[in-house]
């Protein structure tokens, strides 16, 4: 079984996101998107059962490759990525086009994603990749059981449902579905010798165009901060009074 | 502009998200039709003044890819240019599939859109609602995923008069369908929402939130952090990747107020925030801010209601 897992390098979420001409400013050192840790965890659980090969696929400015290293530290075998200036500010369709081409180049059976990136959060790329690859997409997976079959539990509006994983498909994993593992010192050292390969955009079959034109970013007048009370034991009374005034009670 | 709304069914009726988009389409006087996707037998989704088509699928098959192919076929046959859906699980899947068929990238999390010279321009809320990101779509088709509560719902009388189309099952069989028991008020409709964050420290402490919710007839939500920690199901997540709520009163308990959370609640009419950290960003949004330990304030509140 060959598994491709998407990992996105994003600016450290602890810092405020800034934009230039509608494109997120990306520092040289970016980190692994926490959302992707869930997908990587699912891939690693499959690897443990089926001796699968797990390859990280990624797109965007590689920079110091810290985020890719973090993905390898969790236990993926290798990483391939595309870093091309012409992909700056790519829309979701073009991103999906590139990632699906990377998955194809690996002849991956299973392609795994988080549900949406923390910085772009379009939440459409996994489904688009499945369409490019002409396989089914098992979206919003929140758990897996490996027995005679690999059973995936999907999050639905009303609750959940289960499906058996087909031989070839795309999976998107919701945050919280599985418990991503933390690498230990040995894992961190081992990751340093794992291959990270850059793939040239020219070697991929890209059919998507940029169809979305950035116009501008407007700052909204920030809403007023109201009254702030330091609790010295009686602040609950302020809430009671307010709830009464608002006729909640 | 020929427009298609991908509709959804909740409780045998059109979902509020669908009606909100229909309301916007009507106000723009777009030439609109609705294709609603569901698995109920004869839902009450027919519209008096708008063409409605029902794509009936079996919920025992994961066949949204086939549903999408059907919709793409209709879009091409009828020369539809604008395709709209709510930011829900189903529409995200369908519009993503269709975007590949039409080779036109969708725009997600849209809170407003407009039509100028035959082109659709969109507005997205970014940085927790502090900034509005505006873009224009230059391709032949425009596909938008609209955030809930972005528009006022259309006022409609629903009937059962519409054409029904069946779609084939896929090879992926769905089993063990589990419907979460929904007790008490639902997040999207409740006038009072109480949300919990990391400041609740431990899952067991959510009990006091439940007590408070019962007393105030409120729905309970949570931040991504506590949903990720498994304290609450994903369906209760409020924020960028969860639900959007606009209650009369929003009570944020132990929530720092990351921009991702703010997006889901900033339009609440009155915000009460309780947090230990005086500098927590949630206080910027709070009409009443209590700087203190949620775990000591809530029990006292419960005892005095």
Domain annotation for chain B: domains and CATH numbers: 2-166 (3.40.50.620), 192-303 (3.40.50.1220)
Q: Indicate the residue of B93, B126, B172 with minimum beta-carbon distance to A166.
A: B172
Q: Indicate the residue of B96, B272, B288 with minimum beta-carbon distance to A127.
A: B96
CB contact under 8 A, A124 and B145: yes
**pLDDT of B67 higher than 70:** yes
Tell me the average pLDDT across B194-203: 96
Residues on chain A touching B289 (C-beta within 8 angstroms) = 225-229
Residues on chain B touching A226 (C-beta within 8 angstroms) = 271, 286-289
CB contact under 8 A, B288 and A156: no
Residue B38's CB: how many other CB atoms inside 10 A?
20
Does some domain include residue A21?
Answer: yes
Q: Are B277 and B188 in contact (CB under 8 A)?
A: no
Query: Can you read off the two tokens belonging to residue A6?
Result: 């998407």
CB contact under 8 A, A242 and B288: yes
Residues on chain A touching B66 (C-beta within 8 angstroms) = none
Query: Can you read off the two tokens belonging to residue B122?
Result: 């969109």
Is residue B137 less than 8 Å (CB to CB) from chain A? yes
Model pLDDT, residue A222: 61
Does some domain include residue A213?
Answer: no
CATH number, residue A61: 3.40.50.620
Instruction: Give the confidence band of A97 by pLDDT, cuts at 50, 70, 90.
Output: very high
Site of tokens 């060959």: A2
Query: Can you read off the two tokens belonging to residue B149?
Result: 């509560």
Residues on chain B touching A228 (C-beta within 8 angstroms) = 278, 283, 286, 289-291
- Range with lowest mean pLDDT among A100-109, A206-215, B95-104, B223-232: B223-232
Secondary structure (DSSP) of chain B: -EEEEEEEEETTEE-HHHHHHHHHHHHTT-EEEEEEEE--SS-B-EESSSEEEEEE--TTB--HHHHHHHHHHHHHHTT--EEEEESSHHHHHHHHHHHHHHT---EEEEEEEEEETTEEEEEEEEGGGTEEEEEEE-SSSEEEEEPTTSSPPPP--EES--EEEE----S-BEEEEEEPP--S--TTT-SEEEEE-GGG-SGGGHHHHHHHHHHHT-EEEE-HHHHHTTSS-GGGBBSTTSB----SEEEEES----HHHHTTTTT-SEEEEEES-TT-GGGGT-SEEEES-HHHHHHHHHHT-
User: In b/e form, how buried is each residue of B259-269, taking b as 16+ CB within 10 angstroms?
Assistant: bbbbbbbbbbe
Does some domain include residue A73?
Answer: yes
Report angle CA B262, B264, B265 to the nearest 5 degrees: 70
For A41, the domain range is: 2-203
Query: Coil, strand or helix: which one is A79?
Result: strand
**pLDDT of B216 higher than 70:** yes
Does some domain include residue A234?
Answer: no
Instruction: Give the confidence band of B258 by pLDDT, cuts at 50, 70, 90.
Output: confident
Model pLDDT, residue A224: 64
- The residues near B181 (Cβ < 8 Å, ≥ 6 apart) are none
Q: How many domains, in total, are found in chain A?
A: 1
Does some domain include residue A239?
Answer: no
CB contact under 8 A, A213 and B105: no
Tell me the average pLDDT across B58-73: 97
**pLDDT of A42 higher than 90:** yes
Q: How far is A161 from chain B (nearest CA, A)?
A: 4
Using CB atoms within 10 A of its CB, is residue A224 exposed (0-12), middle (13-18) or buried (19+)? exposed
Does some domain include residue A212?
Answer: no
Q: How far is A48 from chain B (nearest CA, A)?
A: 23
* Torsion of the alpha carbons at A13, A16, A22 and A26, rounded to the nearest 10: -50
**More confident of the two residues B45 and B181:** B45
CB contact under 8 A, B62 and A130: no
Tens-place pLDDT, residues B149-197: 899 999 999 999 999 999 999 999 999 999 887 777 889 889 999 999 9
Percentage of chain B modeled with pLDDT above 70: 99
Model pLDDT, residue B180: 81
- Cβ under 8 Å to A: B residues 251-270: 251, 260, 266, 270
CB contact under 8 A, B287 and A208: no
* Torsion of the alpha carbons at A115, A120, A124 and A127, rounded to the nearest 10: -60
Residue of A nearest to B298 (CA): A236
Residues on chain B touching A155 (C-beta within 8 angstroms) = 89, 234-235
Is residue B203 less than 8 Å (CB to CB) from chain A? no
**Cβ-based contacts under 8 A for chains A and B:** 252
CB contact under 8 A, B131 and A128: no
Determine the Cα–Cα distance for residues B185 and B183; give it in Å rounded to an integer. Answer: 7
- Cβ under 8 Å to B: A residues 178-207: 207
| A142 membership: H or E segment, kind and range | strand A136-146
Determine the Cα–Cα distance for residues B8 and A205; give it in Å rounded to an integer. Answer: 35
- Cβ under 8 Å to A: B residues 70-89: 87-89
Q: Indicate the residue of B68, B93, B139 with minimum beta-carbon distance to A211.
A: B139
Does some domain include residue A31?
Answer: yes
Residues on chain A touching B222 (C-beta within 8 angstroms) = none
- Cβ under 8 Å to A: B residues 160-179: 170-179
**pLDDT of B302 higher than 90:** yes
**pLDDT of B129 higher than 80:** no
Model pLDDT, residue A223: 62
pTM reported for the whole predicted model: 0.90
Q: Are A53 and A2 in contact (CB under 8 A)?
A: yes
Does some domain include residue A180?
Answer: yes
Is residue A94 less than 8 Å (CB to CB) from chain B? yes
Q: Are B270 and B248 in contact (CB under 8 A)?
A: yes
Beta strands A23-24; A19-20: pairing state: antiparallel
Q: Are A163 and B62 in contact (CB under 8 A)?
A: yes
Determine the Cα–Cα distance for residues A126 and A133; give it in Å rounded to an integer. Answer: 11
**pLDDT of A21 higher than 90:** no
Q: Indicate the residue of B104, B249, B290 with minimum beta-carbon distance to A211.
A: B104
CB contact under 8 A, A93 and B105: yes
CB contact under 8 A, B289 and A128: no
Q: How many helices (H) and strands (E) does chain A have?
A: 6, 15
Residues on chain A touching B252 (C-beta within 8 angstroms) = none
Determine the Cα–Cα distance for residues B189 and B213; give it in Å rounded to an integer. Answer: 14
Is residue B114 less than 8 Å (CB to CB) from chain A? no
Instruction: Give the confidence band of B128 by pLDDT, cuts at 50, 70, 90.
Output: low
Which of A144-158, A209-223, B289-303 is predicted most confidently? B289-303
- Cβ under 8 Å to A: B residues 139-158: 139, 145
CB contact under 8 A, A238 and B290: yes
Select from A140, A149, A168, A243 the residue whose CB has the most chain B CBs within 10 Å, as the one to mutate to test that interface.
Answer: A243
């Amino acid at each position: 079984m060959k598994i491709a897992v998407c990992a996105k390098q994003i600016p450290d979420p602890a810092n405020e996101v800034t934009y230039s001409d509608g494109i997120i400013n990306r520092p040289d050192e970016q980190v692994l998107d926490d959302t992707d840790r869930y997908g990587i965890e699912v891939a690693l659980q499959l690897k443990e059962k089926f001796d699968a090969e797990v390859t990280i696929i990624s797109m965007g400015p590689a920079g110091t490759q810290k985020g890719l290293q973090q993905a390898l530290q969790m236990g993926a075998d290798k990483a391939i990525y595309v870093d091309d200036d012409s992909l700056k500010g790519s829309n979701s369709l073009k991103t999906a086009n590139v990632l699906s081409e990377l998955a194809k180049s690996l002849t991956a059976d299973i392609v795994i994603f988080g549900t949406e990136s923390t910085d772009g959060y379009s939440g459409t790329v996994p489904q688009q990749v499945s369409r490019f690859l002409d396989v089914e997409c098992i979206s919003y997976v929140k758990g897996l059981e490996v027995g005679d079959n690999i059973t995936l539990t999907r999050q639905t509006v009303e609750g959940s449902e289960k499906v058996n994983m087909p031989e070839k498909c795309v999976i998107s994993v919701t945050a919280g579905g599985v418990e991503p593992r933390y690498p230990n010192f040995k894992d961190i050292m081992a990751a340093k010798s794992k291959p990270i390969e850059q793939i040239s955009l020219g070697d991929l079959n890209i059919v998507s165009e940029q169809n979305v034109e950035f116009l501008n970013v407007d700052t909204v007048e920030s809403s007023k901060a109201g009254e702030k009370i330091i609790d010295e034991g009686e602040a609950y009374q302020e809430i009671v009074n307010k709830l009464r005034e608002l006729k909640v009670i | 502009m020929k427009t298609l709304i991908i509709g959804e069914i909740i409780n045998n009726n059109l979902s509020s998200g669908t009606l909100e988009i229909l309301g916007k389409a009507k106000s723009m006087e777009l030439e609109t039709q609705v294709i609603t996707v569901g698995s109920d037998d004869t839902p009450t989704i027919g519209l008096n003044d708008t063409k409605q088509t029902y794509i009936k699928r079996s919920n025992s098959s994961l066949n949204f890819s086939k549903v999408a192919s059907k919709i793409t076929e209709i879009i091409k046959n009828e020369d539809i240019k604008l395709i709209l859906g709510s930011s829900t699980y189903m529409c995200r899947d369908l519009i993503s599939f269709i975007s590949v068929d039409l080779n036109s990238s969708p725009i997600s999390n849209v809170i407003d859109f407009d039509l100028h010279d035959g082109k659709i321009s969109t507005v997205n809320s970014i940085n927790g609602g502090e900034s509005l990101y505006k873009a224009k779509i230059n391709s032949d088709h425009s596909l938008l995923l609209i955030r809930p509560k972005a528009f006022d719902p259309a006022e409609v009388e629903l009937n059962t008069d519409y054409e029904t189309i069946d779609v084939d099952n896929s090879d992926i069989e769905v089993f063990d369908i589990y419907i979460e028991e929904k007790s008490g008020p639902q997040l999207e409709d409740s006038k009072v929402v109480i949300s919990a964050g990391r400041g609740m420290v431990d899952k067991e402490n959510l009990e006091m939130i439940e007590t408070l919710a019962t007393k105030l007839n409120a729905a309970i939500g949570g931040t991504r952090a506590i949903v990720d920690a498994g304290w609450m199901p994903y369906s209760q997540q409020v924020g960028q990747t969860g639900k959007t709520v606009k209650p009369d009163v929003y009570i944020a308990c132990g929530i720092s107020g990351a921009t991702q959370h703010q997006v889901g609640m900033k339009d609440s009419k009155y915000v009460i925030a309780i947090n230990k950290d005086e500098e927590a960003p949630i206080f910027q949004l709070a009409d009443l801010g209590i700087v203190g330990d949620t775990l000591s304030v809530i029990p006292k509140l419960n005892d005095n209601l």
